[in-house]
Amino acid sequence: MKIPLQIQAEYPFNSHWQNFDSYKLHYVDEGEGRAVIMLHGNPTWSFYYRNVVKALSKGFRCLAIDHIGCGLSDKPQQYTYSLKYHIENVLDWVDKLGLDDFDLIVHDWGGAIGMGVARRIPNKIGKMVILNTAAFNMDRIPKRIAACRIPIIGNLIVRGFNGFAVPALTMAVEKPMSEDVRDGFIFPYNNWANRVGILRFVQDIPTKPTQDSFGELAEIEKFLPQLLSKDILIGWGLKDFCFNQAFLEKWKEFFPDAKVLSYPKAGHYVLEDEKDTLIPEMVRFLEES
């Protein structure tokens, strides 16, 4: 997909690609220094981290992936869009990049994917930044998201009317975004076919033990205490309609020594609402020896 000029002004990065079987995975690779991997969630893409990349690439190598089905990566219609496969893709990507160690930033589904990666290669991961996400099973799913999982109806909502990515432009923030930023978030999801990944992410939310991703997430949750020795920063928008304060408290139980920055007037897209305050804190945290 060709990025429109007005969006390039917000996202002025060269595109890089990695081949996985017959699919291409897109990622940003900017700057030099210690590697920092950034994993997005649903319905975003590496665009969500654009301001972090701009700030960090002066002293770090910033690597922001687009999961298969998202952003500029391929969006196959017949594909196993599950937590396990997204984790495997990141692991293969890290291996092909030849990374021996890196810091990790995660948001939304990127939390479960990132902690799944950490479970497999814990010794390669240094510091971690956790932003409005989960990597554990919680008996909670907002009704507006649950509606997108209803057979047939969910397809119409998510793929037909773009009724997941577009509402997030207002529901996930407290401060209105500019038109160019709004366009940047949703331009990869411009038709029925290109919204397949968004729907599959919603359908893969683990709520029942019979789901494969439920067991995968349970194993990740059991692993989390092994990350206690890591330096961790938690940045949290307290007005998140999905990952509310209960999720933040759960993270604090797992990582009681983590540095926590909570923002009462920020929503799910905390990097949008608090970019001028949170991003400098992230830079300082990652720069500390």
pLDDT at position 139 is: 73
pLDDT at position 249 is: 97
| Averaged confidence pLDDT in the chain | 96
By CB atoms closer than 10 A (0-12, 13-18, 19+), residue 256 is exposed
Confidence of residue 224 (pLDDT cuts 50, 70, 90): very high
For residue 28, give the H/E element and its range.
Answer: strand 23-30
Confidence of residue 114 (pLDDT cuts 50, 70, 90): very high
Looking at the structure of the chain, the number of domains it has is 1
Higher model confidence: residue 141 or residue 55?
A: 55
Integer Cα distance of 204 and 89 in angstroms: 16
pLDDT at position 276 is: 98
Confidence of residue 220 (pLDDT cuts 50, 70, 90): very high
pLDDT at position 137 is: 87
Residue 117 token pair: 């990666």
For residue 93, give the H/E element and its range.
Answer: helix 83-97
Integer Cα distance of 269 and 237 in angstroms: 8
pLDDT digits (tens, 9 = 90+) for 123-172: 999 999 999 999 998 877 888 898 888 989 999 999 999 999 999 999 99
The CATH number assigned to the domain holding 100 equals 3.40.50.1820
Closest-CA residue to 16 (of 6, 8, 7, 26): 26
The answer to whether the bond into 122 is cis (omega within 30° of 0) is: no
Contacts of 279 (CB under 8 A, 6+ apart): 51, 52, 55, 271
Integer Cα distance of 71 and 25 in angstroms: 9
Domain around 158:
5-287
